[in-house]
Amino acid sequence: MRTYTFPVEGGVAVFIPQVLAGSTGTELAPSVAVEVEQVGTTLVIRPLPRRRLTGLAAKFAAFPAGFMAEGREQHEEQERDWDNHDDRER
């Protein structure tokens, strides 16, 4: 099926027709995280599994009763040179 690309901030987006988005066996809706892999001259796009919070309560319950009772260790604040700081380096 032929489709098109269009520019977005910092990259290129691919329009995926709904007929294809629904045929993957997973819900490929807007804002779903995908993985893009280059195989030769082909780009392969596959949805990533959704992360679930199932079992999170059990993980917190596994911490000992006194865990972090004394709080976090405090470190001295470091002097920073904000004049030469560039947000784009992150």
- Domain extent listing, the chain: 1-64
**pLDDT at res. 24:** 62
How far apart CA 24 and CA 47 sit, in angstroms, is 9
Q: What is the pLDDT of residues 39-50, one digit of tens each?
A: 999 999 888 887
Asked whether the predicted pLDDT for residue 8 surpasses 50, the reply is: yes
CATH number of 1-64: 2.10.260.10
Q: How far is CA 2 from CA 8, 12, 47, 59, 60, in A?
A: 20, 16, 20, 47, 49
pLDDT-derived band of residue 90, with 50, 70 and 90 as boundaries?
very low
CA dihedral 6, 7, 8, 9 (to 10 degrees): 180
Tell me if 14 sits within 8 A of 2, measured CB to CB. no
Tell me if 17 sits within 8 A of 24, measured CB to CB. no
**pLDDT at res. 77:** 86
